Amino acid sequence: MRDILMLAYVLVWPVLVAVMMFIMGRGVWRDFRRARKHGDELV
């Protein structure tokens, strides 16, 4: 049982990182599309 909990604890971090990168990537993509639509630069 203790091994399963430790495995779950270790495997949850990559999932959290993937979710956060998806959220940040979606925001950057949205800003990129908005800037291109209005003719502005992203940076």
Q: What is the pLDDT of residue 23?
A: 98
pLDDT for the residue numbered 1: 84
* Spatial separation of the C-alpha atoms in residues 38 and 5, rounded to whole Å: 50
The pLDDT value recorded for residue 18 is 97
SS3 assignment, position 25: helix
Q: Which two tokens stand for residue 20?
A: 């956060």
Place of tokens 């979710």: 19
Predicted TM-score of the model (pTM): 0.70
CA distance readout (Å), 27 to 2, 21, 22, 24, 32: 38, 10, 9, 5, 9
Query: In 1-43, where do the E strands start and end?
Result: none
